[in-house]
Amino acid sequence: MGFHTFPVERADDLEDITRFRFVSRGELVGHLGADPDATVADLGSGTGFYTDELAPFFGTVYAVDVQAAMGAYYRSKGLPGNVRPVTAAVESLPVPDGALDGAVSTMTFHEFATESTLTEVRRTLAPEARFVVADWSAAGTGERGPPTEERFGVSEARSLCEAADFDVQFAQTRPETFLLVAAPA
């Protein structure tokens, strides 16, 4: 949808444990499938709030963010040993075809999702990989997160993923958010 990118000046707001009520570590890791040999990416990783939660369960985690200052924030916070920060846009990921065993994106899908960017995500995924998306839902109230008119509903998110040649395996609207799990078709 390409609405505004989350401002670095508000990065501290991302470091808020009450955010786990919108999506938990267990949901992300459970849908990805914990694997100490796997390489996964957190797309739009921000301060690494959720990347830190993934790190214990995977071999390597790329923390991908278009804003270099977000990577700097994460470094200053302290990186887990298996996290590699990458300054890059989801539109053009510096990752070979099929190199990722999974990808996650939390509260960022509305900032990057187009058929073209999702085709780029799909390119990087191995055949058995899962793409796990948690984001603010257009069906929410706007109590937290961006204005509702800047959000996707889960049906729109599903359609975008399918247009990019994903099979959507799970799609759920919850209070304020949706959770979607897709696999390369």
Ligand X SMILES: C[S@@+](CC[C@H](N)C(=O)[O-])C[C@H]1O[C@@H](n2cnc3c(N)ncnc32)[C@H](O)[C@@H]1O
Q: Tell me the angle at which helices 115-124 and 154-163 cross, rounded to the nearest 10 degrees.
A: 60
**112 is a contact residue toward ligand X (CB under 6 A):** yes
**50 is a contact residue toward ligand X (CB under 6 A):** yes
**Which amino acid is it at 140?**
G
Exposure on the CB side of residue 103, measured as CA atoms within 13 A:
27
Residue 62 engages ligand X in binding (rule: CB under 6 A): no
Residues 5, 165: Cα–Cα separation, whole Å: 26
Q: How many CA atoms, within 13 angstroms, populate the side-chain half-sphere of residue 66?
A: 13
For 45, the token pair is 């990783």
What are the structure tokens assigned to 53, written together? 């939660």
> Which one of residues 40, 41, 63, 66 is an interface residue with ligand X (CB under 6 A)?
66
Q: Least distance from C-beta 173 to ligand X, angstroms?
A: 18
Q: Does 107 bind ligand X (CB under 6 A)?
A: yes
Using CB under 6 A as the binding rule, the residues of this chain from 8 to 47 that contact ligand X are 14, 44-46
The nearest distance, CB 79 to ligand X, in angstroms, is 15
106 touches ligand X (CB under 6 A): yes
Q: CB 178 → ligand X: shortest distance, Å?
A: 14
With contacts defined by CB under 6 A, name the span among 66-74, 94-102, 158-166, 171-179 that binds ligand X.
66-74
- Residue 63: both structure tokens together: 């923390």
